[in-house]
């Protein structure tokens, strides 16, 4: 990565940090103590990880120029299967002690979600199915499996120990929030400090160049969607632990929000640009607004309207900035021959 | 080189085979399936979906994707029903006029946003879908309208039939008038796509935006037509939908868009644009509708619906994509 590109990415980040500050300041100004209280921040800390993991899952696939529409369906399927373990649906688990049950459930959720992600990756890389179609198909398919095995009913009643995952805290900081920060750091490190990450950016920028550079692009795509699946698995554990139940259709609104946050955080939908730090900031902004809307008592429909307009607005702003940039770049290109001519 | 025109494309014959084999299985399991009554019911239930799918088909041909059409449909259908109640105009033409205008208006908003700001169509329409839906709930409301309140012209439209017959059981049944807008939409879509310059432009845009531009097509007009046409069909579908279910809950319908897209894709429309057939799209909808309404005949609950649709969708896209991949490999093109 050259210096120029780095500076360019940093401007996006600076704009984002600025927006975050403005959002928090404005909310502070309007809502005062109501917003800036330990209580509110704590509840935000509990709410962020749930869709934060889904947003990370979406972001890594969007960096490659793809998209993963199946994140929520995947999380639901993994959650339902984990819930089957937790409620001892099968005789096999009858003699499990509570800790063993909880550990097995978490492993089942992660395993199922990772396999589902792997399946996406195989479809996209080995069969060359366009990501939108592949994940649209698996989204319907995963929802279909969840629906068929539950008939649409919720699976409820988990052991206390499992619920602690969602409600536990270290000091004042929610456990799941710490988990989310660790996950963001790991994904961020992977994207910016490893060869895999470099490959992801190169593939997103120009997949043919990546292929001709000798990158094993098929392998790379499989790994990216595997990671996306794994992150959905974490989201599923947090989701069912916080709801104390698992059901088809939980978190359906998160799909739009995950895309919104990724775009808001500076991930270019055509791939190759964006950083995890941006996505995390985007999540903070979204959650701050979400909490404010709850304090304002907005209806879910009004929220939907606002999320939709925000998504469009951010995309339009990005377009304007991009055009402005490419104009100034064109200007440089046109100038260059002139300066070389005597 | 011109390939010989076949009556059915390969994909269409596969789909037809699936429909026939599946119907045979259902019929063997439950002979009640094979009746005109059931067949007409199926057609009636599929009419609305067909209207939407035709719109989606045109968008897919143009190389885009639209997920906002269900929001447009419910916006049109619900608003026209509310407006009829508010103004006491109990006229079906009025309902269609209001709903279709709303559809065209919202569709053209999509077109403007997509064309001017060059946004990826999926994300842009995902955004407008929420905006349209949110606007409707704020401007028009969220109260459902039940059958008792529903204007009588809409109720009559829902139960009108082209012709009627009496089943052995004593029930009268017949072909619903819903088939009229559907046939009309099929004819218009066919005519525009295959007999006009605009249609050539749509195919051309789907195949390659750059070459369409260099060939001198006005991309703005093409996009404007494509997205308003989806809006128009969605608006018409909105009224058909309200008449079909006889009551309207404004939060219904939104969320079913992906199954319609799935139908068009199963029908052979490529997401990368430029490919697909109308007959394929119709067969795609028939398959989805078959699963929707006949799993009961097989003794499975409707919960299994998504599983089958998802499986067919995955198999169909995998097969077509893999064939494309082999073809690209042979010709050493790596762009797909």
CA gap B92, B221 in Å, rounded: 31
Q: Of chain A residues 221-280, which have a CB less than 8 A from chain B?
A: 252, 256, 259, 263, 269-270
B-chain residues within 8 Å CB-CB of A70?
none
Q: What is the ipTM of this complex?
A: 0.85
Contact A312 B113 (CB under 8 A): yes
Range of the domain at A162: 43-251
pLDDT of the residue at B5: 59
Does any domain span residue A229?
yes
Q: What is the pTM of this model?
A: 0.88
Give residue A234's Cα distance to chain centre. Answer: 11
Contact A312 B317 (CB under 8 A): no
Can you tell me whether residue A252 is helix, strand or coil? coil
Q: What is the mean pLDDT of chain A?
A: 86
Nearest one of A281, A213, A319, A273 to A64, comparing CA atoms? A273
| Residue that has been written with the tokens 């596969």 in this structure | B14
* Residues listed for chain A: 342
Q: How far is CA B242 from CA B48, B97, B237, in A?
A: 10, 15, 8
Does any domain span residue B323?
no
Domain containing residue B174: CATH number:
1.10.3470
Residue predicted with more confidence, A18 or A11 = A18
CA gap B9, B17 in Å, rounded: 12
- Both tokens assigned to B13: 């014959």
pLDDT in tens, A246-258: 988 888 778 888 9
CA gap B22, A172 in Å, rounded: 59
Does any domain span residue B332?
no
Helices marked H in A32-70: 38-63
Range of the domain at B104: 10-304
pLDDT of the residue at B100: 96
User: Does residue B3 sit at the A interface (CB-CB below 8 Å)?
Assistant: no
Mutate to test the interface with B, among A69, A70, A126, A128 (most CBs of B within 10 A): A128
Q: Of chain A residues 69-108, which have a CB less than 8 A from chain B?
A: none
Does any domain span residue B276?
yes
Can you tell me whether residue A334 is helix, strand or coil? helix
Contact A269 B120 (CB under 8 A): yes
User: Does residue A141 sit at the B interface (CB-CB below 8 Å)?
Assistant: yes
Contact A252 B255 (CB under 8 A): yes
Is 60 exceeded by the pLDDT of residue A9?
Answer: no
Does any domain span residue A110?
yes
User: Does residue A122 sit at the B interface (CB-CB below 8 Å)?
Assistant: no
Structural domain total, chain B: 1
Does any domain span residue A225?
yes
Can you tell me whether residue B125 is helix, strand or coil? helix
φ and ψ at residue A174, rounded to 5 degrees:
-60, 140
Nearest CA in chain B to A143: B306
CA gap B320, B10 in Å, rounded: 11
| Residue that has been written with the tokens 């991009």 in this structure | A322
Does any domain span residue A296?
no
pLDDT in tens, B51-82: 999 999 999 999 999 999 999 999 999 999 99
Does any domain span residue B286?
yes
Does any domain span residue B319?
no
Does any domain span residue B329?
no
Q: What is the mean pLDDT of chain B?
A: 88
pLDDT in tens, A106-136: 999 999 999 999 999 999 999 989 998 899 8
Letter string b/e over residues B90-124, b meaning 16 or more CB atoms within 10 A of that residue's CB? eebebbbebbbbbbbbbbbbbbebbbebebbbbbb
Does any domain span residue A160?
yes
Q: How far is CA B267 from CA A297, B13, B283, B284, in A?
A: 44, 11, 6, 5
pLDDT in tens, B6-23: 667 778 888 899 899 989
- Both tokens assigned to A218: 């098929």
CA gap A140, B258 in Å, rounded: 8
Structural domain total, chain A: 1
CA gap B106, B132 in Å, rounded: 8
- Both tokens assigned to B53: 């799918």
User: Does residue A144 sit at the B interface (CB-CB below 8 Å)?
Assistant: yes
């Amino acid at each position: 990565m050259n210096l120029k590109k780095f500076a360019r990415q940093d401007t996006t980040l600076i704009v984002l940090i600025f927006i975050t500050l403005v959002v928090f300041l404005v909310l502070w100004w309007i809502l005062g103590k109501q917003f800036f209280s330990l209580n509110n921040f704590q509840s935000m800390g509990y709410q962020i990880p749930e869709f934060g993991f889904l947003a990370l899952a979406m972001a890594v696939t969007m960096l490659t120029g793809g998209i993963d529409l199946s994140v929520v369906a995947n999380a639901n399927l993994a959650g339902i299967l984990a819930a089957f373990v937790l409620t001892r649906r099968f005789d096999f688990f009858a003699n499990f002690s509570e800790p063993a049950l909880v550990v097995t459930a978490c492993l089942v959720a992660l395993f199922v979600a990772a396999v589902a992600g792997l399946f996406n990756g195989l479809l996209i890389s080995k069969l060359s199915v366009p990501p939108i179609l592949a994940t649209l198909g698996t989204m319907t398919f995963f929802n279909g499996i969840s629906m068929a095995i539950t008939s649409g009913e919720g699976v409820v009643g988990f052991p206390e120990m499992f619920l602690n995952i969602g409600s536990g805290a270290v000091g004042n900081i929610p456990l799941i929030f710490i988990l989310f920060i660790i996950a963001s750091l790991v994904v961020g490190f992977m994207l910016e400090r490893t060869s895999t990450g470099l490959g992801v950016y190169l593939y997103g920028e120009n997949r043919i160049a990546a292929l001709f550079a000798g990158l094993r692009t098929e392998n790379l795509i499989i790994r990216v969607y595997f990671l996306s699946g794994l992150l959905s698995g974490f989201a599923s554990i947090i989701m069912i632990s916080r709801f104390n139940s698992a059901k088809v259709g939980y978190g359906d609104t998160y799909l739009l929000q995950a895309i919104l946050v990724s775009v808001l955080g500076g991930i270019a939908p055509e791939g190759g640009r964006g950083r995890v730090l941006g996505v995390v900031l985007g999540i903070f902004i979204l959650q701050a607004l979400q909490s404010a809307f709850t304090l304002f008592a907005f209806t879910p429909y009004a929220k939907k309207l606002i999320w939709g307009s925000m998504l469009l607005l951010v995309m339009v702003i990005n377009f304007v900035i991009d055009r402005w940039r490419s104009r100034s770049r064109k200007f440089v290109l046109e100038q260059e021959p002139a300066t070389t001519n005597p | 080189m011109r390939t010989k025109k076949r009556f059915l494309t390969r994909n269409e014959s596969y789909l037809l085979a699936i429909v026939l084999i599946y119907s045979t299985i259902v019929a063997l399991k439950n002979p009640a399936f094979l009746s005109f009554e059931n067949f007409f019911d199926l057609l009636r239930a599929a009419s609305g979906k067909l209207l939407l799918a035709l719109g989606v088909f045109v968008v897919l041909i143009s190389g885009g994707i639209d997920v906002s059409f269900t929001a447009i449909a419910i916006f049109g259908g619900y608003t026209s029903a509310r407006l009829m109640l508010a103004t006491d105009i109990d006229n079906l033409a009025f309902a269609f006029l209001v709903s279709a205008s709303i559809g065209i208006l919202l569709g053209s908003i999509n077109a403007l946003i997509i064309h001017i700001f060059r946004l990826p169509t999926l994300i842009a329409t995902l955004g407008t879908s929420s905006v349209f839906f949110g606007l409707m709930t704020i401007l028009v409301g969220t109260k459902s309208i039940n059958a008792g309140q529903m204007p009588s012209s809409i109720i009559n439209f829902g139960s009108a039939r082209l012709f009627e017959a009496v089943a052995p059981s004593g029930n009268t049944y017949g072909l619903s008038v819903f088939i009229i807008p559907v046939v009309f939409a099929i004819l218009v879509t066919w005519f525009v796509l295959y007999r006009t310059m605009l249609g050539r432009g749509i195919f051309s845009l789907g195949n390659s935006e750059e070459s369409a531009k260099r060939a001198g097509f006005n991309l703005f007009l093409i996009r404007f037509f494509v997205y308003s046409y989806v809006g128009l069909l969605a608006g018409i579908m909105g009224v058909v939908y309200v008449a079909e279910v006889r009551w309207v809950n404004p939060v219904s319908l939104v969320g079913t868009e992906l199954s319609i897209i799935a139908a068009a894709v199963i029908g052979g429309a490529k997401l990368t644009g430029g490919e697909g057939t109308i007959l394929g799209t119709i067969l795609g909808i028939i398959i989805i509708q078959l699963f929707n309404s006949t799993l009961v005949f097989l003794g499975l609950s409707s919960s299994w619906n998504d599983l089958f649709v998802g499986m067919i969708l995955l198999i169909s896209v995998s097969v077509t994509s893999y064939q494309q991949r082999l073809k690209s490999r042979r010709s050493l093109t790596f762009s797909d």
